[in-house]
Chains A and B, each alone.
Chain A
């Protein structure tokens, strides 16, 4: 993994393309495979007595997990100095969006039984659903602009647009927190992790600006 490796730089690229990325792809599909297997073979013990609720939970949890993992890539890169990790970020982000979308589709079909009036009412009347829906809508432009072509075309604006991910993650955790009936332990863990991930960025930025602003900093003229 070290850049000081005597191997040609191309070999690391190859390893990511042929090994790490396909492995990550398969790992990201596991929760979906669990749901699909459970639904197709109903009734199965894996999903319990209430498959719609279980599938909704699995998809929602996975979306939230992937969002937080996506946000871990940058701190991890900064801590380890391994820039190659960035190659995995897009896949994680697109999977987070896909799971959020599947979570919403499950809500529409399996929980609300395609009752559109009920769904529309829920979205504007129930705050936790409003928040979750907003997070999904905000994820859409990020997923659509995740291609290399879009990155090139949007240039600097691409980065500003993709900073929306911070807001989306906050909305995602909030959505989870508000739908829990009583036991907030799990949402609290998510909120804590998100606070660390966002706090890390704020701390880095502060340090960077204070360093560059300081007249006594060595190496500045």
Chain B
């Protein structure tokens, strides 16, 4: 075989690295879209079909823990979101049917400003920040998640809750077409959750729109969810379509379903066991196979900031 001299490459023909990667992203996105249109629902992989849009945000170190965050893969493939199935891998596989845009949120109840608002109107005035939060599931596993969002209090105050607004209720979307898990009555749909107004106004209560600097994937509660790092995960309502200010304590789905096992407050508490398992310790997702359990901290490690909310309360009774 004749050996040819190397062809001269002009500098203009070399693709800069950033453009090279851009081309790959475009290709990956196109492939993802093509796969999404060909494959039946549920056959899609755990990875998001299209790369989520990057968000503009600042880091909030004051409200971030120093723990190492879990991987994006762990956070977006291991979810309890029964609207898409009861298995932890179900939401990542099935949440492609959810349309987070267009989206609207209804504000109701004891507030001066009520009505239905587009997601754009809801989000517009709020600068985004990243907070690395601990997340503790009632099932005794935990993660560390870099959320992107803004203080829930800032949003709630815009609607001027009245003096009768003692509680806030959050309702998740009800649409079995978008949320196939709702075709079966595993829980009472729609999912509802609630907070005392002082809990909701606490600076740690976060309205979440993203994770790892990108828009929330559907399986994590797109387009809008709360996160309350001192409470068990089920308190943090996902894919919210309605926020209602109430005078009386609202019902919450898991407490309705099994009142002996799940309460309204659901504060992380190592001293109050779940009837079927201990809450004194937890398994941290991402630790080694035989790494063992970690100690669970009162209020998930946020006791300094939130313990005053519950002064004088019997936490065993109000579990």
A and B associate: yes
Contact between A52 and B289, CB atoms less than 8 A apart: yes
Chain B binding site: helix, strand, loop or mixed by DSSP? loop
Q: Which residues of B contact A111 (CB under 8 A)?
A: 283
Q: Does any Cβ of B come within 8 Å of A73's Cβ?
A: no
Q: Which residues of B contact A50 (CB under 8 A)?
A: 78, 88, 141, 283, 285
Segment touching A, from B107-115, B208-216, B273-281: B273-281
Q: Which residue of B lies closest to A112 (CB)?
A: B293
Interface centre among A42, A50, A110 (most CB of B within 10 A): A50
A-contacting residues, B138-161, CB 8 Å? 139, 141
Q: Does any Cβ of A come within 8 Å of B40's Cβ?
A: no
Contact between B278 and A113, CB atoms less than 8 A apart: no
Contact between B186 and A114, CB atoms less than 8 A apart: no
Least CB distance from B68 to A in Å reads 14
Contact between A181 and B86, CB atoms less than 8 A apart: yes
Least CB distance from B38 to A in Å reads 21
Contact between A48 and B293, CB atoms less than 8 A apart: no
Beyond A111-B283, A183-B186, whether A48 also contacts B78 by CB under 8 A is yes
Q: Does any Cβ of A come within 8 Å of B94's Cβ?
A: no
Contact between A110 and B289, CB atoms less than 8 A apart: yes
Contact between B277 and A51, CB atoms less than 8 A apart: no
Contact between B78 and A49, CB atoms less than 8 A apart: yes
Least CB distance from B279 to A in Å reads 12
A43-B139 Cα distance, complex, nearest whole Å: 22
From A42, A48, A55, A182, B82 is in contact (CB under 8 Å) with A182
Contact between B276 and A182, CB atoms less than 8 A apart: no
Contact with A along B14-40 (1 / 0, CB 8 A): 000000000000000000000000000
A112-B187 Cα distance, complex, nearest whole Å: 29
Q: Does any Cβ of A come within 8 Å of B257's Cβ?
A: yes
Contact with A along B71-82 (1 / 0, CB 8 A): 001100110001
Q: Which residues of B contact A121 (CB under 8 A)?
A: 278
Contact between A182 and B86, CB atoms less than 8 A apart: yes
Contact between B86 and A183, CB atoms less than 8 A apart: yes
From A42, A52, A114, A118, B281 is in contact (CB under 8 Å) with A118
Q: Which residues of B contact A115 (CB under 8 A)?
A: 281, 292-293
Q: Does any Cβ of A come within 8 Å of B290's Cβ?
A: yes
Q: Which residues of A contact B292 (CB under 8 A)?
A: 113-115
Contact between B88 and A113, CB atoms less than 8 A apart: no
Q: Which residue of B lies closest to A40 (CB)?
A: B289
Least CB distance from B43 to A in Å reads 16
Contact between B285 and A182, CB atoms less than 8 A apart: no
From B77, B276, B280, B291, A48 is in contact (CB under 8 Å) with B77
A87-B257 Cα distance, complex, nearest whole Å: 48
Q: Which residues of A contact B184 (CB under 8 A)?
A: 183
Q: Does any Cβ of A come within 8 Å of B106's Cβ?
A: no
Q: Which residue of A lies closest to B288 (CB)?
A: A42
Least CB distance from B141 to A in Å reads 7
A128-B78 Cα distance, complex, nearest whole Å: 24
Q: Does any Cβ of B come within 8 Å of A39's Cβ?
A: yes
A-contacting residues, B113-171, CB 8 Å? 139, 141
Q: Which residues of A contact B77 (CB under 8 A)?
A: 48-49
Q: Does any Cβ of A come within 8 Å of B259's Cβ?
A: no
Q: Which residue of A lies closest to B254 (CB)?
A: A182
Contact between A49 and B276, CB atoms less than 8 A apart: no
Q: Does any Cβ of A come within 8 Å of B260's Cβ?
A: no
Q: Which residues of B contact A109 (CB under 8 A)?
A: 290
Contact with B along A124-138 (1 / 0, CB 8 A): 001010000000000
Contact between A113 and B290, CB atoms less than 8 A apart: yes
Least CB distance from B215 to A in Å reads 21
Q: Does any Cβ of A come within 8 Å of B89's Cβ?
A: yes
Q: Which residue of B lies closest to A128 (CB)?
A: B276
Q: Does any Cβ of A come within 8 Å of B286's Cβ?
A: yes
A62-B174 Cα distance, complex, nearest whole Å: 36
A111-B277 Cα distance, complex, nearest whole Å: 12
Contact between B293 and A51, CB atoms less than 8 A apart: no
Contact between A49 and B73, CB atoms less than 8 A apart: yes
Q: Which residues of A contact B285 (CB under 8 A)?
A: 49-50
Q: Does any Cβ of B come within 8 Å of A147's Cβ?
A: no
Q: Which residues of A contact B46 (CB under 8 A)?
A: 45
Q: Which residue of B lies closest to A184 (CB)?
A: B186
A51-B289 Cα distance, complex, nearest whole Å: 7
A-B contact pairs, 12 of them (CB 8 A): A42-B289, A45-B46, A49-B286, A52-B283, A53-B283, A113-B291, A118-B278, A118-B281, A118-B293, A122-B277, A126-B277, A182-B82
CB-CB nearest 7 A-B residue pairs = A113-B292, A49-B78, A49-B74, A183-B86, A113-B293, A39-B289, A182-B186
- For the A-B complex with A126-B276, A182-B86, A183-B86 known, give 15 more contacts whose Cβ atoms are closer than 8 Å: A39-B289, A42-B289, A49-B73, A49-B74, A49-B88, A50-B141, A53-B141, A110-B289, A110-B290, A114-B292, A118-B280, A121-B278, A122-B277, A122-B278, A128-B276
